[in-house]
Amino acid sequence: MTDDAEAAAEPVEDVEAFRARARSWIADNLEPVSSDELNSFALKRVPEAEELAAVEQARALQRKLFDGGFAGICFPPEYGGQGLTAEHQRAFNVELAGHEWPDKLSVPTMSPCAAVLLEFASAEQKQRHIPAILKGEEIWMQLLSEPSGGSDVAGAQMTAVHDGDEWVLNGSKIWTTGAWWSDWGLCLTRTNWDVPKHRGLTVFILPLHQPGVELQRIEMLNGSREFCQEFLSDVRVPDSDRIGNVDEGWTVGVRWMFHERMQFNSPYVTFPDGVAGRAGAVDVVAVARAAGRLGDPRARELVGEYRMLEIAVRQLQARLGDGIATGKMSDQAAAVGRLFTGLSNVRRASIAFEVAGSAGGVWSDDNGAASELGIQYLMRHAATIGGGTTEMAANVIAERVLGMPRERTVDRDVAFRDVPRGPMK
């Protein structure tokens, strides 16, 4: 948590008292939802109008939380938050289980975006954006990955050139989820090509819908069109929208990626308990039943393995969350959760597909829960790619957690413009 959050944490409300207050408020103000409706993390096809309605609904729910005094539980009060602790947030998340929630304002708006603002933005910048975020007025996106390289984040080529009181941005960002219905972006740019790559980066914030930002939606192999690519042409950003110092963007970037790895473990994110780790979650008992295999011991064994992995991932994330929050583990331990969540989700997608039997490949509309699992199987590796690949997480674990020697790099001590690059297409 930030210094602000700690400073604000004077005598705070007892967690159990808070929990009781949250429980009654939730019961009075939020609608219950069935677990079948909680699949908004799954990358799937949704009609545009339905998606936009869901965004408006999320904004309204966020506003409801704000008015009820439950928005930004770990955010400092001076920016509209509640100034409470991670434990309060967890209690709220437990009470929120089984209820509607502002899913589209959780990740990446609260973390990493708002979390990065809390750490690095000026007081004026925070005053301008954090309350707006907590009221549901601003949905944020991270403009981080580029077409030239996903994992090599510090190799960003999006260029920002100083011009008077402004910066002029040119380049492209990619894999922004739902950018087409979002409001603001946190953007990593290159401001100096003549120094090594980590020393020439700067972070800016900018509205996503403005002249010079061309936004394209990307169709994934399952038909989802949630991901976007942005092309920036001479987009002018005032210097007052710079986050952190010029050319010191990597300081921001390191924490940015930490907050990204924290995802639903972040104390800044409100979500119903049990929902994280449900990315693409399948009711595998229902799949076995729909496939007529509930009595098949081979299928039952797989059902059990699926449940085991679901439980294991959840317990791992809880342990890492506690370990990092109490300082027993370094921030880098978040990579352990990222790695195992990815690997186990891959395995779970394979299990669901296998349990579905032949309906995994060919299905009819009345196959129920056994339908479309083949499509999820095709998308299996979204779990080990999105949010940073599991290979990168494995490097972080080996090098930062276990202290093993770093991989040899050829781009460390040379000017970024001299770093070898593949052919331009």
The Cα diameter of the chain in Å comes to 72
Instruction: Kindly write out the interface string for residues 384-403 of this chain, putting x where it contacts other proteins by CB under 8 A and - elsewhere.
Output: -------x-xxx-xxx-xx-
Sign, Cα dihedral of 116, 117, 123, 126: negative
Q: For tokens 């509209």, name the residue.
A: 80
Distance CA 190, CA 419 (A): 14
* 106, 264 Cβ separation under 8 angstroms: yes
Near other proteins by CB under 8 A: residue from 326, 365, 413, 423: 326
**CA angle, corner 308, sides to 305 and 312, nearest 5?**
140
Q: In sequence order, what are the beta bridge partners of 206? A: 185
Residue among 9, 94, 318, 385 that touches other proteins (CB under 8 A): 318
| Smallest separation (angstroms) from other proteins to the CB of 390 | 9
- Least separation in angstroms between CB 399 and other proteins: 7
Burial class (CB in 10 A: 0-12, 13-18, 19+), 225: middle
CB of 95 to other proteins, least distance (A): 18
User: Does 407 interact with other proteins (rule: CB under 8 A)?
Assistant: yes
Q: Exactly one of 336, 356, 379, 383 binds other proteins (CB under 8 A); which one?
A: 336
Question: Token digits for 149?
Answer: 């390289």
The answer to whether residue 107 forms part of the interface with other proteins (CB under 8 A) is no
Task: Return the number of other C-beta atoms located less than 10 Å from residue 301's C-beta.
Answer: 12
**Rg, Å, the chain Cα set:** 22
CB atoms within 10 A of CB 253: 20
To the nearest whole angstrom, how small is the minimum distance from the Cβ of residue 289 to other proteins? 9
Binding to other proteins in span 117-156, by CB under 8 A: none
Total binding residues toward other proteins, as defined by CB under 8 A: 45
Q: What is the dihedral of CA 324, 327, 330, 332, to 10 degrees?
A: 20
Q: Is residue 308 close enough to count as binding other proteins by CB under 8 A?
A: yes
CB of 328 to other proteins, least distance (A): 6
Out of 201, 339, 370, 382, which residue is the one contacting other proteins (CB under 8 A)?
339
Would you say 282 or 375 has its CB closer to other proteins? Answer: 282
340 in contact with other proteins (CB under 8 A) = yes
> Closer CB to other proteins, residue 186 or residue 392?
392
By rule CB under 8 A, what string of x and - marks binding of each residue 161-190 to other proteins? ------------------------------
Decide if residue 94 touches other proteins (CB under 8 A): no
Q: Which is nearer to other proteins, 301 or 418 (CB)?
A: 301
Residue among 98 and 207 whose Cβ is closer to other proteins: 98
**Does the footprint of other proteins cover residue 316 (CB under 8 A)?**
yes
**Whole-number Å distance between alpha carbons of 65 and 30:** 9
Region class of 83: left (phi > 0), else alpha (psi between -120 and 50), else beta: left
CB of 1 to other proteins, least distance (A): 18
What interhelical angle do 334-355 and 249-262 show, nearest 10?
40
Q: Which of 68, 212, 274, 323 binds other proteins (CB under 8 A)?
A: 323
- When binding is defined by CB under 8 A, the residue of 51, 248, 322, 411 that contacts other proteins is 322
CA distance 291 to 367: 7
Which two structure tokens, joined as six digits, stand for 88?
């309060």
Among 20, 123, 254, 311, binds other proteins (CB under 8 A): 311
Q: How far apart are CA 226 and CA 206, in angstroms?
A: 20
Neighbours of 422 (CB within 10 A): 7
Give the nearest distance from C-beta 321 to other proteins in angstroms.
10
Residues facing 161 on adjacent strands: 168
CB 257 within 8 A of CB 388: yes
By the 10 Å C-beta count (0-12 exposed, 13-18 middle, 19+ buried), 326 is classed as exposed
Minimum distance, C-beta of residue 210 to other proteins, in the bound complex (Å): 41
Residues 51, 224 contacting (CB under 8 angstroms)? no
Contacts of other proteins in 245-304 (CB under 8 A):
283-286, 294, 297, 300-304
Interface with other proteins, residue 315, by CB under 8 A = yes
Site membership for other proteins, residue 412 (CB under 8 A): no
Residues lying near other proteins in the complex (CB under 8 A) are found at 283-286, 294, 297, 300-305, 307-309, 311-313, 315-316, 318-320, 322-323, 326, 328, 333, 335-336, 339-340, 343, 391, 393-395, 397-399, 401-402, 404-405, 407
